[in-house]
Chains A and B, each alone.
Chain A
Amino acid sequence: MKKLCTVLMAVLLAALVLTTAMAADEPMRMTWWGSESSNKIYLGVSDMFSQELGIEVENEYLSWDDYWTKLNTLAAANDLPDSLRMDLAYIKSYVDKGLLMDLTELVEKGLIDLSDVPESAISGGMFDGGLYAINAGSNSIGMLYNVKMITDAGMEVPGHELTWAEFEQFVLDFYAKTGIYGSDLWGLRDYNGTFRAYVRSNGGQLYNEAQDNLGFEQQILVDYLNSIKRLHDAGAVQNVSEITVDVGRENQPYSKGQAASITTTTDSGTTYYSMVKDTFGPSVLRIIPGSAENKGMWVKPSQFMAIAKDAEHVEEAAAYINYWTNSESCNEFISGRRGVPISNKMASFVGSKLDEASKMTFDYMVEMAAYASELYDPDPIAHSEVDAEFSTTFQSVLFGEMTPEEGAKHFFEFAAKVLGE
């Protein structure tokens, strides 16, 4: 009996080893992050790409957090996949470490055709004169308002040129009239989006040019925290204890018809739109309140596609980027679900084929361009740590452990230390 077991184990192990050794010619590896809905898009594109161009693709995908844990490990071991998706939050570190390929030559050779792409859409992927990523889709942020709830309350849906003070009043008024939150605290805590727009419209940037400290006055943060605190203490937004645990979009007041507005990226804007439309009515996107001042808004690359420095399948990976950028069948299939296509030709081609939610987003992107100025520099590596501390500070102020002044002071000290390292 025991002998039999040993033999059995040996055979099984041998089989395991053999299957390993059999891996021969590997097809092009491409990776992305995403869940059910985005996986469907990427897999669909991969299939069409393989079919039309006869290039085999090995698809690798993970959820957002896991994607970066994995990619960073692969990077450390010098084992990156051929084609990979990058995010503005990480791309600079990857470029600085020499992990990504300069695509300039591939563009010159015509492997990636950018002739229909405006310069402004390319510059997001440029670092120190090299082109390290092609942005295949752009997005922005905005304030999403529930039109029906607001008009039902006998109020007017705010326009783009609402000031922050007016927004604060809107939230308070809406709450006073309906007993429903005027805005969603989830969005107001967002350092990356809402607060960045607030800072920019007040003439600053999150980080200074050298990126060794914050790039705005402490008073700006004090004012912001004071404003949020007034909304919070009046009960016009949900209690801060509700935003310490992330329980998904479906649980946010806006999704449940319990808030009249929320800050969102345009990508998620379509999600929210579809989520509440049938039950609570249509939504509309406006720029972040106050951002008309100083052109505080921006258009951000949301779909960076890069090729690893040591990629084995360079031409195939380039063909993939080109396919995403210029193929009609590809863009028709995606139909704007990954942001506005960068090629002018594709953007107008897709524009006519959109569903209601995507159309709202597309229209918004056109309107908000008037209030947008140059994109901010990619964030420093310490950004995520500063972001986390912002969240902590924000909570501390609303829980009443710190005054807005103390909170701002604490945050500035922390940021100076971390960024200065």
Chain B
Amino acid sequence: MMQSIKPRMSRRTIRSGVIFHTLAVLFGVIMIYPLVWMVASSLKPNEEVFTTVTSLIPSRVVWHNYVEGWQSAGRYTYATYFKNSFIIAIFSTIGGVASSSLVAFAFARIPFAGRKACFAILMGTMLLPAQVLLIPQYIMFKSMGWINTFLPIIIPQFCGVPFFIFLNIQFMRGVPRELDEAAEMDGCGWLKKYTMILLPLSKPSLITSAIFAFYWSWQEFLGPLIYLSKPRMYPLSIALKMFSDPSTQTNWSGLFAMTTLSIVPVLLVFMFFQKYLVEGVATTGMKN
């Protein structure tokens, strides 16, 4: 009997697998088409980008677009802009993820006075559009002598990012309370409970936060625009905007080439971290 079931089961899995992969690939093609278009355009001669819009194959492959684009933005090459983006993104990610998790723990677990009010304020700070805060923030950071440094962009991240705090709160609230109580029986304080139980168990939300934090600070634009004046400190997001100018010709293939390069690091970060989202969190072992 066992033998007769097995092949039938696997035929079924094969069929469902085929259907799954066909649909997934088809959907993937739609999703990724614009990106493929961009990469293809980055390899076309500039004058061809808009004359052969629907074609994905360049008449000749122009790798030179990458060389030219790399050197296009003023005195510095894209090496400088990449370096600056890395500095900003790495520090912001570390700071943002670590502090947000810490703060989230208090909101999710500790019944302290004023928790509800603080949470309401936390949500409230997300509601104002960033652009109207620019001028007061600039004046403030100037008085602190932080202009033309990465500090106004990085340091606030170390105070927690509302989006990640809220995200971590939601995940922590999903962690079974029995685990806390068991820890309490063992005489664990809040710090222990955080480091021993909730921190390891909220790994999925930490990873998600890290992916987002890296990407957001990578493409963050308004802050660097306002706080950094020296082109050698510009991150990629500002350099990329210098391709387009209303009064002259735009080097489109160069823009596409550099945009393509600029998403490679964020893509790698994503691929690196998302591996850890494959397996679920095993809580069974911890109950004992």
A touches B in complex, CB < 8 A: yes
Known: A17-B151, A19-B149, A61-B242. A249 touches B249 (CB 8 A): yes
Residues from chain B with Cβ under 8 Å of A64 in the complex: 245-247
Known: A70-B226, A76-B139, A271-B248. A250 touches B73 (CB 8 A): no
> What is the bound-complex CA distance between A17 and B154, given in angstroms?
12
Query: For window 58-74 of chain A, which residues contact chain B by CB distance below 8 Å?
Result: 58-64, 66, 69-70, 73-74
Residues from chain A with Cβ under 8 Å of B225 in the complex: 62, 66, 69-70
**Nearest chain A CB to B11's CB is how many angstroms away?**
49
Query: Which residue from chain B places its CB closest to the CB of A23 in the assembled complex?
Result: B148
Number of A-B contacts (CB under 8 A): 117
Is B138 an interface position by the 8 A CB rule?
Answer: yes
Query: Which residue from chain A places its CB closest to the CB of B142 in the assembled complex?
Result: A77
> What is the bound-complex CA distance between A271 and B250, given in angstroms?
10
Residues from chain B with Cβ under 8 Å of A31 in the complex: 229
Known: A17-B151, A59-B75, A76-B135. A29 touches B245 (CB 8 A): no
Q: Contact: B231 with A61, CB < 8 Å? A: yes
Is A36 an interface position by the 8 A CB rule?
Answer: yes
Query: For window 109-124 of chain B, which residues contact chain A by CB distance below 8 Å?
Result: none
Query: For window 232-276 of chain B, which residues contact chain A by CB distance below 8 Å?
Result: 238, 241-252, 254
Is B94 an interface position by the 8 A CB rule?
Answer: yes
Q: Contact: A36 with B50, CB < 8 Å? A: no
> What is the bound-complex CA distance between A35 and B72, given in angstroms?
9
Q: Contact: A35 with B250, CB < 8 Å? A: yes
Mask: chain B, 136-176; 1 = CB below 8 Å from A; 0 = not? 00110010011111110010000000000000000000000
Query: For window 3-52 of chain B, which residues contact chain A by CB distance below 8 Å?
Result: 46-47, 49-51
Is A34 an interface position by the 8 A CB rule?
Answer: yes
Is B129 an interface position by the 8 A CB rule?
Answer: no
Query: Which residue from chain B places its CB closest to the CB of A265 in the assembled complex?
Result: B247
Q: Which of A19, A256, A268 contacts B248 (CB 8 A)?
A: A268
Residues from chain A with Cβ under 8 Å of B46 in the complex: 250
Residues from chain B with Cβ under 8 Å of A66 in the complex: 225, 238, 241
Is B134 an interface position by the 8 A CB rule?
Answer: yes
Q: Contact: A16 with B151, CB < 8 Å? A: yes
Is A400 an interface position by the 8 A CB rule?
Answer: no
Q: Contact: B149 with A20, CB < 8 Å? A: yes
Is B86 an interface position by the 8 A CB rule?
Answer: no
Is A79 an interface position by the 8 A CB rule?
Answer: yes
- B interface, size bucket: 35 or more
Is A267 an interface position by the 8 A CB rule?
Answer: yes
Residues from chain B with Cβ under 8 Å of A81 in the complex: 229
From A37-45, A197-205, A232-240, give the one contacting chain B.
A37-45
Known: A39-B242, A77-B139. A60 touches B229 (CB 8 A): yes
Q: Contact: A248 with B242, CB < 8 Å? A: no
Is B74 an interface position by the 8 A CB rule?
Answer: yes
Q: Contact: A77 with B135, CB < 8 Å? A: yes
Q: Contact: B231 with A250, CB < 8 Å? A: no
Is A369 an interface position by the 8 A CB rule?
Answer: no
Q: Contact: A73 with B226, CB < 8 Å? A: yes
Query: Which residue from chain A places its CB closest to the CB of B221 in the assembled complex?
Result: A66
> What is the bound-complex CA distance between A31 and B135, given in angstroms?
19
Is A51 an interface position by the 8 A CB rule?
Answer: no
Is B230 an interface position by the 8 A CB rule?
Answer: yes
Residues of A within 8 A of B (CB): 9, 12, 16-17, 19-20, 23, 29, 31, 33-39, 43, 58-64, 66, 69-70, 73-74, 76-77, 79, 81, 248-251, 256, 265, 267-268, 271, 274-275, 279
Q: Can you report 19 A-B residue pairs in the complex whose CB atoms are below 8 A from each other?
A: A12-B91, A16-B151, A20-B146, A23-B148, A29-B229, A34-B245, A36-B243, A36-B251, A37-B249, A60-B230, A60-B231, A63-B245, A66-B241, A69-B225, A70-B229, A73-B138, A76-B135, A265-B247, A268-B248
Closest 8 pairs (CB-CB, A-B): A35-B245, A20-B149, A39-B74, A77-B139, A63-B241, A76-B135, A60-B229, A36-B72
Residues of B within 8 A of A (CB): 46-47, 49-51, 72-75, 91, 94, 134-135, 138-139, 142, 145-151, 154, 225-226, 229-231, 238, 241-252, 254
